[in-house]
């Protein structure tokens, strides 16, 4: 197991970045590795379960926690031993705009293999 932490800062205001996270239908707009989300809930909802489509295979997920005041949320993606826990947050940027962060924990090959795609997505999220 390993953990990585990634950050990206961009000009969009924090409220807009949070909306891009909050509304599941918007994920493919900024996350090129995601082609769609199959989930009865269309907004971030703690306890929601579904499948995220992309990278060739739909993966099951569970949204573990959502804190709209802190603009943070956590979810687990994958099945069995091939599972990652991802914690996302949105804060004010140092010179305006937004800084977003992602802490990913899971098996070393998954976490390190996912990091470049995640970094690309984070940069798109805040722009």
Structural domains present in the chain = 2-125 (3.30.530.20)
Number of H helices, E strands in the chain: 3, 7
Residue 80: per-residue pLDDT: 86
Q: What is the pLDDT along the chain (127 residues), one digit of tens a residue?
A: 999 999 999 999 999 999 999 999 999 999 999 999 999 999 999 999 999 998 778 999 999 999 999 999 999 999 888 999 999 999 999 989 999 999 999 999 999 999 999 999 999 999 9
Residue 116: per-residue pLDDT: 97
Question: Can you give the pTM of this predicted structure?
Answer: 0.94
d(CA 93, CA 84): 27
Quick one: pLDDT at residue 38? 96
Give the start-end residues of each E strand in the chain: 2-10, 36-38, 49-53, 59-67, 72-79, 82-92, 98-106
């Amino acid at each position: 197991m390993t953990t990585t932490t990634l950050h990206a800062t961009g000009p969009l205001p924090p409220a807009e970045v949070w909306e891009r996270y909050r509304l599941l239908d918007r994920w493919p707009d900024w996350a090129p590795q995601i082609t769609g989300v199959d989930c009865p809930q269309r907004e971030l909802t703690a306890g929601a379960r579904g499948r995220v489509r992309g990278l060739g295979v739909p993966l099951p997920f569970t949204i573990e926690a959502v804190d709209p005041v802190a603009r943070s949320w956590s979810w687990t993606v994958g099945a069995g031993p091939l599972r990652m826990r991802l914690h996302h947050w949105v804060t004010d940027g140092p010179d305006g705009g937004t800084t977003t962060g992602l802490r990913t924990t899971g098996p070393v090959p998954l976490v390190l293999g996912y990091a470049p795609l995640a970094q690309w997505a984070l940069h798109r999220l805040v722009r």
